[in-house]
A and B are shown apart, each in its own frame.
Chain A
Amino acid sequence: MSLSRDQVLHVARLARLELTEGEVERFGTELSKVLDHIETIGQLGAMDDVAPTSHVIELENALRADEPAPSLPRDVALASAPDAAMGGFRVPSPGAGSSE
């Protein structure tokens, strides 16, 4: 399996990564090699009768009492924000600047 340049760029867009030209080339080659290994699971046949694992340890529902409790104070939650303003997280406008 070999990843085309367009596929690499498509996946990078989905993952919100802005790759450099060098990375596009490098990841295309490296991921193709890793995918070749990964595709050996194709040798296991159809596996139509196998249930996919959803959790490794058998667990009953993990429920807790629905009781109000204090959460992080707003100023603490905002303390690490790159740009806090008016009691919230400020971000650039989705429509600002570039045309992408």
Chain B
Amino acid sequence: MSELLELSAARAAERIRTGELEAEALWSAYRGRAAADELNAFTWVAGPEPPPVTEGPLGGVPVAIKDLFATEGIPSQAGSRILEDYRPPYTATAVERLAAAGAPLLGKTNQDEFAMGSSTEHSAYGPTLNPWDRSRVPGGSSGGSAAAVAAGIAPWAIGTDTGGSIRQPAALCGIVGMKPTYGAVSRYGMIAFASSLDQAGPLARDVTDAALLLGAMVGRDPRDSTSLGLLEPIAPPGATDLRGVRIGVPEELSGEGIEPGVQERFEETIELARELGATIETMRLPHAPHALAAYYLLAPAEASSNLARYDGVRYGLRAGGDGDLLHMYTATREAGFGTEVKRRIMLGTYALSSGYYDAYYGRAQKVRTRISEDFRRAWESFDFVATPTSPSVAFELGAKLEDPLAMYLQDVCAVPMSLAGIPAISIPNGLADGLPTGFQLAGPAFSENRILDAAHALEDAIGFDGSKARE
């Protein structure tokens, strides 16, 4: 049993393929753990009967899916009371592709409501706990997926990243998380937060698993006109050194504002990268210090528009049905949305309101252009940019709930890449005060394979041991 759970997903898939392992045995082991989950990582768990075996590259290894992916007939609540027990009439493309590639649905994972948050405390279904220390948050918004993978109650999982929501929880839980190029994975069936930023991606125990899972999700989808075909398929990463690789370390995203323990681990890994043959230089992303401000205009503005659909008419909660139509709308939204969602709807509505649009939303879109230009300039001299993923280790439950700005600062190193639409990975980067830290590597659009290769070489050299969280 415990040996089974120590297998990476890729190795488990390989053993199923060679007949050394029964897919049913793997299913039962993980299904049992998911059903007994004490971290509140799941909001729905599949029944005990093993699913029909589907041949495919994912080998029958079950996958946990963030709750905001629509799954036909299965609760898809996006962490919100307004969608309590909502069972969609269709399934998200990413989930369909994983199933077709041989990864059956193990369960739906907890998240911040509509993916708005960095701690999974903004879930209407209670917070998820960090398996490294249950008094701490797992990060967010894909905190349920991250905690489930770290704790060995799911072999792998998928999440979504709008401004760090895959990478930051991966860092805080000591696993790998990747946000691919904007458009790499179809958004069809993803309950929307901020459509110009939302991207699905894998959360996995190691880089090889992340690549395998990502490879099965990507591709153009006629049902999402912003989806793209990648230039080449995702390949299994194999690099063991970084010879000839040029890495830039942006001054703006390390040092100041980063916890000393996180910064020390980061510098050690930069040194490891140098030993592996990489050229390291500090460089500038001059507009990165303005990324968070631009993000907190653009994402709430898009959210305020996207969340207008929750009006008590077609699905979800309805309240105040005994009054007039306007009262029904406002009472439904008051009863159904949590505090953080209301806060962001207010912020976004304000940013888009008459008289403020140019100063806020219009200006933020210009900052976004500047940030993309900063990265384009960086790629003239560098293959990758490296930063700490999150400025801190996992914090105590409740520590940032009363201070939204402090919570938002969790994403200070993740947001610039989201605004530029470029791929970025977070890999486990050793412990500080006994808690995981993350190392982020970002590259130009469509550089997923090169990022995964470099991350693979670094992962080997770092030699992170995540088994403590699976005990």
Measured CB to CB, the residues of A under 8 A from B are: 3, 7-8, 11-12, 14-20, 23, 27, 30-31, 33-35, 37-44, 47, 50-57, 59, 62, 64, 72, 76-77, 79-83, 89, 91-98, 100
Interface residues of B in 322-377 (CB under 8 A from A): 322-331, 333-334, 337, 339, 342-343, 345-347, 349-350, 353, 360, 362-370, 372
Residues of B within 8 A of A39 (CB): 293
A92 to chain B, nearest CB (A): 5
Contact A53 B345, beta carbon cutoff 8 Å: no
Q: Interface SS of chain A: helix, strand, loop or mixed? A: loop
Contact A17 B346, beta carbon cutoff 8 Å: yes
Q: Which residue of A lies closest to B331 (CB)?
A: A18
Other A-B pairs, 5, CB within 8 Å; known A30-B404, A91-B312? A18-B327, A53-B369, A57-B445, A80-B315, A93-B324
Interface membership of B450, Cβ < 8 A: no
Interface membership of B314, Cβ < 8 A: yes
Interface membership of B240, Cβ < 8 A: no
Interface membership of B421, Cβ < 8 A: yes
Contact B89 A27, beta carbon cutoff 8 Å: no
Residues of B within 8 A of A11 (CB): 346, 349-350, 353
Q: Which residue of B lies closest to A94 (CB)?
A: B325
Contact A77 B89, beta carbon cutoff 8 Å: yes
Interface residues of B in 394-453 (CB under 8 A from A): 404-405, 408, 419-421, 445
Contact pick for A82, options B182, B296, B316, B349, CB 8 Å: B316
Question: When chains A and B are docked, how far (Å) is the Cα of A59 from the Cα of B227?
Answer: 10
Q: Which residue of A lies closest to B420 (CB)?
A: A56
**A33-B405, A76-B89 known; A91+B292 contact, CB < 8 A:** no
Give how many A-B residue pairs fall within 8 Å (CB-CB). Answer: 183
Residues of B within 8 A of A19 (CB): 334, 342
Residues of B within 8 A of A55 (CB): 196, 226
Residues of A within 8 A of B364 (CB): 41
Interface membership of B294, Cβ < 8 A: yes
Contact pick for A31, options B316, B329, B343, B369, CB 8 Å: B343
Contact flags (1/0) for B18-30 with A, using CB distance below 8 Å?
0000000000000
9 pairs, CB–CB < 8 Å, chain A vs chain B: A7-B350, A11-B346, A27-B346, A37-B405, A47-B367, A77-B89, A82-B312, A92-B321, A94-B324
A69 to chain B, nearest CB (A): 10
Residues of B within 8 A of A43 (CB): 290
Contact A34 B404, beta carbon cutoff 8 Å: yes
**A81-B314, A82-B318, A94-B326 known; A41+B333 contact, CB < 8 A:** no
Contact A17 B337, beta carbon cutoff 8 Å: yes
Contact B324 A14, beta carbon cutoff 8 Å: no
Q: Which 4 A-B pairs have the closest CB atoms?
A: A56-B421, A52-B365, A82-B318, A80-B315
